[in-house]
């Protein structure tokens, strides 16, 4: 059979999907015919099939190098559910288990072998592979070879040895990290000079981007989860371990099923929290960026940031973990002046030479630009990765275009206030004092420094404290006010301030949104079945029954629920109510093995729920 039709057949029969997505088909046939490939695809784009199907088409075993030991077992379980002979080799396994897998490899009894890089590079493993028939090598998370990236793994550099030791075996490297520098590094370090590059669009149309002003982050977060994602899985990213702990506790205290995750927890707790997140329905993980690489969970419905990420790359990678199943998902963030101040301070404090500081300052400025932009967020994100985009109708700025106002007068008031306070006292002051003076509040500190006698006292009573902070944040952003980290984060004027003070430059500012964009009241695909659980909604009842059955089955098999069926498959079942095995075959996500294993059970569940 031609590789192409063989690929179609495996896609349908084994994985139960009706069609390839994006570039999958080209990649599969290129690799199936023995070519090397470098695949850049966003998270959720469907990278796994790009090596799984060629491995099944080609003679011999496919070897998948993955840095994520904790997740190998789940990947193997998911393949096993689809009827593919898969196994893993890593350091968390017992000796007898390792030997059993090695025996199966020698017998040619395995189609896909997942190996941790350090294990693969042992002589023992290389020997085992040398004496086996190999279909291909897949190097997942290939950006781990990059010394500049935050996921650098020294073992990855040594993977170059595969090119020498297995010259005839095709290699496919895959990553969701987009930039050109990383791409170049991957090609050089892994000796992929002859590889064909497949670069997909990085757009994730099902993710809605929203960035709001930070006022009271935990309360805003709680309101967001309660009103838009009750009972659904999500990730909340924070910068520090402390914030993680406090936020997880706060959410849990308010009835949200939330767990903490950061590098300071002991490994047992970390692992158990990660497992609960992956396996249970609707857990909210509050985490530092230490959490998430390679998390395959397809039904994460939101990713929230309550602290500003350090770069657009980081933000995009983290938000990309939402909605891998293609159903609607939210990327939600709040940020404020304190984030800007804190991150600039961290850069000042960081060790590293001037050029390093210049690079990370530029990255910070880029993410701030994204936060402050008044046009489409998606266009800004894609442009950052060198891709053209068009307004999306699925970000806050597209849905409700932000209001702009002439902030020149406000800026001048604020700047003169900074100037007067410093002039009167001989030293500079922080945001709190400046805002108090502007608003005419006679606090003890205002009286102590005689600031109620200044001409700027009370000249800004027309704006409230949050509005002033918003103005200040934007001035700091534009380099019109400087926060002096060496002097307790006090505010100073800059060269550029003068133009505004002298009236030579006008300033357009973004108005603080009184009512942020929300999804409340909107009908979404996921909610279609769930929220409308009115007694007469047959769909909802069937969907819930299917979820219950899936939960029990997953527990019985000791695997995450999504490896049995995705939400999208259950939704389609509830919607179409197939009545026979033949009709079940038509549902996306039901391949031959799953049909055989679960077909009758599904028909029964739907029938009894429908009555």
Q: Which residues bind Zn ion (CB under 5 A)?
A: 376, 378, 392, 395, 398
Q: Which residues contact 554 (CB under 8 A, 6 or more apart)?
A: 279, 560, 561, 563, 564
Q: How far is the CB of 394 from Zn ion (least distance, A)?
A: 6
Does 336 bind ligand ADP (CB under 6 A)? Our answer is no
Among 324, 363, 378, 473, binds ligand ADP (CB under 6 A): 324
Based on the shown chain and the rule CB under 6 A, indicate whether residue 317 belongs to the binding site for ligand ADP: no
Asked if residue 47 binds ligand ADP (CB under 6 A), the reply is yes
Decide which of Zn ion, ligand ADP, none touches 376; Cβ closer than 5 to 8 Å per partner kind: Zn ion
CB of 332 to Zn ion, least distance (A): 15
- Residue 365 is encoded by which pair of tokens? 């400025």
Q: How far apart are CA 44 and CA 316, in angstroms?
A: 12
* Binding-residue pattern over the window 588 to 607 for ligand ADP, x denoting contact by CB under 6 A: x-------------------
Out of 298, 309, 323, 560, the only residue in the binding site for ligand ADP (CB under 6 A) is 298
Query: Is the Cβ–Cβ distance between 234 and 302 less than 8 Å?
Result: yes
What is the closest distance, in whole angstroms, from the C-beta atom of residue 51 to ligand ADP in the complex? 10
Helix (H, G, I), strand (E, B) or coil at 87: strand
Shortest distance, position 39 Cβ to ligand ADP, whole Å:
9
Q: Which of 31, 32, 49, 472 binds ligand ADP (CB under 6 A)?
A: 49
Q: Which residues pair with 137 in a beta bridge?
A: 63, 171
Which among 47-55, 79-87, 123-131, 398-406 is the span making contact with ligand ADP, rule CB under 6 A? Answer: 47-55
Q: How far apart are CA 238 and CA 232, in angstroms?
A: 19
Q: Which of 22, 51, 159 is CA-nearest to residue 112?
A: 51
Pairwise CA distance, residues 429 & 234, whole Å: 40
User: With binding defined as CB under 6 A, does residue 72 bind ligand ADP?
Assistant: no
Q: 457 and 439 in contact (C-beta within 8 Å)?
A: no
Would you say 204 and 318 are in contact if contact means Cβ atoms under 8 Å apart? no
| Cβ 142 to ligand ADP shortest distance, Å | 12
Residue 58: which of 33, 80, 83 has the closest Cα?
Answer: 33
Residue 595 and residue 384: Cα distance in Å, rounded? 44
In angstroms, give the least distance from the CB of 210 to Zn ion. Answer: 10
Closer CB to ligand ADP, 75 or 343, in the complex: 75
Q: Which stretch binds ligand ADP (CB under 6 A): 17-25, 390-398, 453-461, 493-501?
A: 17-25
Beta strands in 367-438 (DSSP E): 404-406
Decide if residue 170 touches ligand ADP (CB under 6 A). Answer: no
CB-nearer residue toward ligand ADP: 228 or 325: 325
For residues 335-354, b (16+ Cβ closer than 10 Å) or e, as one string?
Answer: bbbbbbbbbbeebeeeeeee
- Is the CB of residue 363 less than 8 Å from the CB of residue 312? yes
Q: Which is nearer to ligand ADP, 238 or 300 (CB)?
A: 300
Smallest gap from Cβ 377 to Zn ion, in A, equals: 5
List 14, 29, 43, 456, residue binding ligand ADP (CB under 6 A): 43
Task: Work out the burial of residue 154: count CB atoms within 10 Å of its CB; fewer than 13 is exposed, 13-18 middle, 19 or more buried.
Answer: exposed
Q: Out of 10, 32, 41, 233, which residue is the one contacting ligand ADP (CB under 6 A)?
A: 41
295 binds, among ligand ADP, Zn ion, none (CB under 5 to 8 A by kind): none
List the one residue out of 304, 293, 303, 297 whose CA is nearest residue 281: 297
Cβ of residue 175: shortest distance to ligand ADP, in angstroms? 10
Which option in ligand ADP, Zn ion, none does residue 449 bind, with CB closer than 5 to 8 A by kind? none
- Residue 382: CB minimum distance to ligand ADP, A: 18
343 interacts with ligand ADP by CB under 6 A: no
Q: Is 46 in the site for ligand ADP (CB under 6 A)?
A: yes
Alpha carbon distance 589, 455 (integer Å): 70
Give the residue with the Cβ less far from ligand ADP, 301 or 482.
301
Residue 43: name its binding partner from Zn ion, ligand ADP, none (Cβ under 5 to 8 Å by kind).
Answer: ligand ADP
How many residues touch ligand ADP under the rule CB under 6 A: the total is 18
- Nearer to ligand ADP (CB atom), residue 115 or residue 609: 115
Closest by Cα among 98, 66, 101, 68 to 85? 101
- Which DSSP string do the residues of 306-342 spell out, in sequence order? SS--S-HHHHHHHHTTS-TTSS-EEEEEEE-HHHHHH
Q: CB 442 → Zn ion: shortest distance, Å?
A: 45
CB atoms within 10 A of CB 145: 27
Q: Would you count residue 166 as binding ligand ADP (CB under 6 A)?
A: no
Tokens of 451: 């600031």
In 393-480, the DSSP E strands lie at 404-406
> Got the DSSP string for 26-87?
HHHHHHHTT--EEEE--TTS--HHHHHHHHHHSSSEEEEE-S-HHHHHHHHHHHHHTT--EE
Owner of token pair 């069937």: 542
**Out of 29, 48, 220, 539, which residue is the one contacting ligand ADP (CB under 6 A)?**
48
Q: Is 45 in the site for ligand ADP (CB under 6 A)?
A: yes
Are residues 153 and 117 in contact, defined by beta-carbon separation less than 8 angstroms?
A: yes
Rounded to a whole number of angstroms, the minimum distance from the CB of residue 358 to Zn ion is 30
| Secondary structure (3-state) at 286 | strand
Is 449 within 8 Å of 508 (Cβ atoms)?
A: no
322 binds ligand ADP (CB under 6 A): no
**C-beta of 72 vs 500, nearer to ligand ADP:** 72
Start-end of H helices in 173-281: 180-189, 217-228, 241-253, 267-279
Q: Which one of 7, 10, 14, 20 is in contact with ligand ADP (CB under 6 A)?
A: 20
H or E stretch at 77:
helix 69-81
Residue 199 sits in the site that holds ligand ADP (CB under 6 A): no
Between 394 and 489, CB nearer to Zn ion: 394
75 near ligand ADP, rule: CB under 6 A: no
- The correct pick among 7, 8, 36, 44 for binding ligand ADP (CB under 6 A) is 44
Distance CA 173, CA 187 (A): 9
Q: Which is nearer to ligand ADP, 67 or 336 (CB)?
A: 67
Nearer to ligand ADP, 38 or 540 (CB): 38
Q: 547-566: which residues touch ligand ADP (CB under 6 A)?
A: 566
Calpha distance 414→434 (Å, rounded): 8
Is residue 21 at the binding interface for ligand ADP, with CB under 6 A as the rule? yes
Q: In the bound complex, what is the minimum distance in angstroms from residue 296's beta carbon to ligand ADP?
A: 5
Residues forming contacts to ligand ADP in the complex (CB under 6 A) are: 17, 20-21, 24, 41, 43-49, 296, 298, 324-325, 566, 588
């Amino acid at each position: 059979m031609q590789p192409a039709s063989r690929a179609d057949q495996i896609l349908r029969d084994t994985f139960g999907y009706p069609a390839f997505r994006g570039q999958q088909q080209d990649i599969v046939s290129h690799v199936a015919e023995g070519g090397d490939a470098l695949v850049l695809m966003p998270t959720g784009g469907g990278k796994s099939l790009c090596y799984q199907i060629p491995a099944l088409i080609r003679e011999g075993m496919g070897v998948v190098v993955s840095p994520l030991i904790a997740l190998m077992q789940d990947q193997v379980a998911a393949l096993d559910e689809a009827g593919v002979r898969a196994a893993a080799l890593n350091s968390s396994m017992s000796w007898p288990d390792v030997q059993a897998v090695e025996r199966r490899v020698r017998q040619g009894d395995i189609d896909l072998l997942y190996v941790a890089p350090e294990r693969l590079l042992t002589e023992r493993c290389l020997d085992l592979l040398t004496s086996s028939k190999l279909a291909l090598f897949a190097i997942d998370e290939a950006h781990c070879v990059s010394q500049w990236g935050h996921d650098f793994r020294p073992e990855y550099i040594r993977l170059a040895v595969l090119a020498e030791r297995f010259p005839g075996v095709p290699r496919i490297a895959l990553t969701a990290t987009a930039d050109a520098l990383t791409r170049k590094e991957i090609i050089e370090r892994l000796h992929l000079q002859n590889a064909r590059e497949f670069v997909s669009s990085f757009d994730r149309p099902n993710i809605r981007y929203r960035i709001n002003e930070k006022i009271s982050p935990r309360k805003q977060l709680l309101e967001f989860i309660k009103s838009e994602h009750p009972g659904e899985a999500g990730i909340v990213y924070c910068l520090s371990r402390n914030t993680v702990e406090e936020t997880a506790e706060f959410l849990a205290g308010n009835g949200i099923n939330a767990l903490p995750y950061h590098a300071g927890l002991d490994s047992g707790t970390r692992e158990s929290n990660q497992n609960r997140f992956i396996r249970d329905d609707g857990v909210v993980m509050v985490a530092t960026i230490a959490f998430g690489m390679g998390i395959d969970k397809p039904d994460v419905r939101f990713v929230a940031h309550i602290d500003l990420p350090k770069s657009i790359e980081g933000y995009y990678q983290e938000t990309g973990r939402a909605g891998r199943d293609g159903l609607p998902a939210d990327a939600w963030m709040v940020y404020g002046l304190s984030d800007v101040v804190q991150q600039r301070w961290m850069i000042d404090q960081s060790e590293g030479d001037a050029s390093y500081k210049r690079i990370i300052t530029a990255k910070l400025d880029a993410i701030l630009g994204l936060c402050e932009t008044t046009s489409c967020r998606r266009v800004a994100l894609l442009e950052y990765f060198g891709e053209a985009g068009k307004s999306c109708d699925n970000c806050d700025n597209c849905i409700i275009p932000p209001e702009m106002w002439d902030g020149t007068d406000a800026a001048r008031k604020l700047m003169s206030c900074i100037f007067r306070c410093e002039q009167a006292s001989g030293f500079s002051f922080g945001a709190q004092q400046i805002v108090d003076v502007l608003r005419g509040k006679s606090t003890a500190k205002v009286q102590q420094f005689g600031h109620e006698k200044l001409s700027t006292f009370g000249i800004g009573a027309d704006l409230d404290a949050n509005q002033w902070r918003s103005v200040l944040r934007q001035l700091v952003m534009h380099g019109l006010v400087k926060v002096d980290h060496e002097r307790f984060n006090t505010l100073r004027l800059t060269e550029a301030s003068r133009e505004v003070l002298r009236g030579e430059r006008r300033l357009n500012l973004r108005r603080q949104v009184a009512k942020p964009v929300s999804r409340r009241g909107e009908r979404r695909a996921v909610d279609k079945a769930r929220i409308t659980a009115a007694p007469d909604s047959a769909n909802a009842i069937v969907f819930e029954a299917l979820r219950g059955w899936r939960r029990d089955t997953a527990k019985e098999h000791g695997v995450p629920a999504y490896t049995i069926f995705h939400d999208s498959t259950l939704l389609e079942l509830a919607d179409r109510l197939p009545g026979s095995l033949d009709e079940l075959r038509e549902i996306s996500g039901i391949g031959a093995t799953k049909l055989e294993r679960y077909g009758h059970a599904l028909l029964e569940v739907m029938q009894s729920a429908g009555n």
